[in-house]
Structure 1
Amino acid sequence: MLSFAWKWTWAGLLSAAALTTPAVAADFDGMVSVGGHPLHVAQTGAGPYTVVFEAGFASDLSVWRKVAPEVAKKAAVLVYSRAGYGKSPARPQPLSMEQSVAELADVLRQRKVEGSLILVGHSYGGFLIRYFAATHPQQVAGLVFVDPADEGLETVLKRLDPVRLQQDQRMLAASIPAKWQGELQTIQAILDAGKLPTMPVLPDVPAVLLTSVQARADSDFFQETPAIVKIKRERHAAFLSQFSSGAHVFTPNSGHGIQMQEPELVVAAIGQVMTLATQSAARVARAQARQKLMGELEHSAALLGKQQNDAAASRIALALRDSALSEVEINTLGFDLLTRAKRTALATLVLAYNNQAHAQSDNAADSYGEALLADARPAEAQRQFTRALALGQANGAREQAMAGYRQHLSQAEQALKQP
């Protein structure tokens, strides 16, 4: 059976699916032809990310009606109904998980949705967004799992109490209309196998997982009992551990349909993933910029070796400008080159750029002076230390810093006295 308690949310999901009004006030609300078959798609909102919602079993796009409008205030949103749900006509044969994901990819392509996707999947939708993320990793910036299905849970339950598990399966199958039995069989085949179809490793993107821990000791459903809910929670936590950034949120106040009963939790989870994705993208961009910068520094060092000092200085200035490093970061880089790498000429050019780019900084002037002094240019160093003292006084620098500037000036003056 489905590896989640399902029947007690059946009435709520049916009423949601029966809605005739759009889930959101969409900029686009219509049918998209996929392989000659129409799928109902709605889009609205704008922002740096597109949040794509994947409903669970026996659900259409309207199950996101309490979530999508809030998310659309700060992001683009796309909701759709898989074949056989809502306004999307059923197919002669049920779709496999792979086919459903391929159809989503086609929808995104036709609607010109590219990159920076936040995928949100409820229940069986969790399987689908995992497969999409694994097969389209460059497009996915983050994942939100709303009480997701677990392909391995029934394997555990078979060992614990196969009779009660079979009872759950029979009750579920009896409650499902004939038109949805095909997708139920697709899902049950995954649960029987205890694994998803073969796919690449999931990308390590920010992820938040919401788990319903609502339990009833007297429930007719095995999976709703406290012991099994505890196992589900632990397995969800184990699944989430593969992601280096994210959070696991538990709620005892909702059943399986968290997006209907506590939509604010889903909205908050999406917001958290967007924030983490933005931070992650910034870290990646900075790492790439630093890697590029280090390459440019090596090219500049080669120019210095050929006595092409002006060309080296120009190359370093362009590289540092494009790197978007702060004054403090450039200063740290310069001192690493000066003191650790012992590459005085290169450090001097880096700190010279910092001094020019931050002309009112007493610290930048002092640091450049230290590089000049190390490069045996005491007269130039003296001018920079004198300037650092004047700037420090104007900037209200701390006495400890001012004392350091005076000490450096004294060192430059002593060096000038040397024969």
Structure 2
Amino acid sequence: MSQLKGLRVRAWVLALAIVATLPAVAAEVPVPRAAYTLQAELQGDGPMAVVFESGFGQDAVAWKAVIKSLGPECRCIAYGRAGLGDSGTDGNAKTIDEHLADLDAVIATLAPGRKVVLVGHSYGGLLVSEFARQHPDRVQGLVLVDPTTMGQRHAFRQADPARVQADDAMLLSMLPPAMAADYRALVARLDSPEAATPAAMPDVPVVLLTATQVAAEPFVFEETAQGKALWRAQHGALFAQFSRGTHRYLDTGHNLHHEDPAAVVDAIREVAATGSVPD
């Protein structure tokens, strides 16, 4: 591993470790669960209810720039999943279904009786897609920010199984034990045979934002030219499952909401306006 790549690896781990220590952007509100309490952040009480799901290992602070830009027009809700930020945990690895149950509780607690715009980055994008598929009547629209897809690992493993295996080993060696357990649970689900079959998505408006930059020093397979081509294809297939919306390609890295928060803000406003129009 080159010196530059080593620096990028250490920076990535440090970002995961300190993200919860950054200043909060909103009032903190507890969301009780059976064995732990999630800590959510609520800002504003505008007509547009927006719930944010962060990427793997990140919490509410990841959306600081986006939420600030939305201002008073938004009832903005962000939170840390179990074990992240100030959110508690029962010590057990969490599956997709368990994370969806927690998201359900956050929405029921902080936006009761309201349809919400769901915004998800990376793994959070997968979660909000699945939530909308299961609860379309509760979703006003989706903003998918360079999202993970159910079928991506099947595509990546078919293209370069050795690289995917090496990436897994590297990540597991770097992650804290609890986060590594969550990663193993996620990989098991995405590697399952049923994950390879695309699921029909609900009739809700969507804006899908795809980051197109190929990294000069790829950290994982997704950042290589081959991985990025497959990533784009996965997003194209995902978008094809929706009946209305927009798919945009942006010249950024994976953390699109940090590099171009205005693009995410515009997407939120677009799906909120579209979703408010009766069919």
Output the TM-score relative to the length of structure 1: 0.60
Cα contact 2:156–2:230 (8 A) shared by 1? no
5+ residue gaps in structure 1? 1-5, 285-419
Task: Percent identity, please.
Answer: 34
**Equivalent residues in 2 for 1:123-272, closer than 5 Å:** 123-193=122-192, 195-196=194-195, 201-216=200-215, 219=218, 221-253=220-252, 255-272=253-270
Superposed CA RMSD in Å reads 2.4
State the partner residue of 1:25. 26
* CA separation of 1:66 and 1:244: change in aligned 2, threshold 3 A: same
Which residue of 1 is the match for residue 102 of structure 2?
103
CA distance in 1, matches of 2:242, 2:165: 33
Equivalent residues in 2 for 1:390-409, closer than 5 Å? none
Per the alignment, residue 304 of structure 1 pairs with none
Write the distance in 1 (CA, Å) between the matches of 2:220 and 2:55: 19
**Deviation (angstroms), 1:17:** 2.6
Structure 1 or 2, whichever has the larger Rg, is 1
CA contact (8 A) 1:39 1:81 kept: yes
Give the number of the structure whose residues are more often helix, by fraction. 1
Q: CA offset at residue 107 of structure 1?
A: 2.5
Decide whether aligned partners of structure 1 residues 92 and 60 sit closer, same or farther in structure 2, where only a CA change above 3 A counts.
same
SS at match of 1:273: helix
2:276 is matched by which residue type in structure 1? T
Structure 2 vs 1, CA of residues 137 and 272 (structure 1 numbering), >3 Å: closer, same or farther? same
For the residues of structure 2 that align with 1:63 and 1:195, how far apart are their CA atoms? 31
SS at match of 1:125: helix
Q: Which moved more, 1:134-143 or 1:29-38?
A: 29-38
Alignment check: 8 A CA contact 1:135 1:200 kept: no
Partner in structure 2 of residue 276 of structure 1? 274
Residues 197 and 31 of structure 1, relative CA distance in 2, 3 Å threshold: farther
Shift of 1:170: 1.3
Q: Distance in 2 between matches of 1:225 and 1:128?
A: 25
CA–CA distance in structure 2, aligned partners of residues 242 and 200 of structure 1: 8
SS at match of 1:120: strand
> Does the 8 Å CA contact 1:50/1:113 hold for their aligned counterparts?
no
State how 1:268-347 maps to structure 2 within 5 Å. 268-279=266-277, 281=278, 284=279
| 2:49 paired with 1:50 | yes
Deviation track 1:101-135 (CA, whole Å, cap 9, x = no partner) reads 11221222233522321001111112211221122
- The residue aligned with 1:317 is none
Mapped partners of 1:232, 1:197: distance in 2: 14
Count of aligned pairs between the two proteins: 271
- Deviation of 1:161 after TM superposition, in Å, equals 2.0
> 1:319 is matched with which residue?
none
Are 2:93 and 2:178, in contact at CA under 8 Å, matched by a contact in 1? no
CA distance in 2, matches of 1:115, 1:199: 29
- Provide closer, same or farther for how the CA distance between residues 99 and 197 of structure 1 changes in structure 2, counting only shifts above 3 A: farther
Q: Is the Cα contact below 8 Å between 1:151 and 1:194 reproduced in 2?
A: no
| Contact kept in structure 1, 2:208 and 2:248, CA below 8 Å | yes
The C-alpha deviation readout for 1:330-382, integer Å capped at 9, x for no partner, is xxxxxxxxxxxxxxxxxxxxxxxxxxxxxxxxxxxxxxxxxxxxxxxxxxxxx
Once residues 247 and 165 of structure 1 are traced to their aligned partners in structure 2, the CA distance between those partners, rounded to angstroms, is 30
Q: Spell out, residue by residue over 1:277-323, the C-alpha distance to the aligned partner (whole angstroms, 9 max, x if none).
A: 123x2xx2xxxxxxxxxxxxxxxxxxxxxxxxxxxxxxxxxxxxxxx
- The answer for the alignment partner of 1:288 in structure 2 is none
> 2:19 corresponds to which residue?
16
Q: How many angstroms apart in 2 are the aligned matches of 1:216 and 1:231?
A: 15
User: Within 2, Cα distance between the matches of 1:130 and 1:142?
Assistant: 10
Q: CA 1:129 to 1:92, structure 2 compared with 1: closer, same or farther past 3 Å?
A: same
Check 1:218–1:135 CA distance in 2 against 1; reply closer, same or farther (3 A cut).
closer
Task: Give, in angstroms, the shift of residue 259 of structure 1.
Answer: 1.4
Structure 1 position 142, deviation (Å): 0.2
Structure 2 segments unaligned to the other structure (5+ residues): 1-7
TM-aligned CA distance change 1:67 to 1:86, over 3 Å: same
Higher relative contact order (CA 8 A, sep 6+): 2
Q: Is the 8 A contact 1:219 1:225 kept in 2?
A: yes
Q: Secondary structure at the match of 1:141?
A: strand
Superposed displacement of residue 233, structure 1: 0.8
Q: Secondary structure at the match of 2:222?
A: helix
AA matched with 1:126: G
| Residues 379-394 of structure 1: pairs in structure 2 closer than 5 A | none
TM-score of the superposition, structure 2-length normalised? 0.88
SS in 1 for 2:40: strand
Report the AA paired with residue 17 of structure 1: A
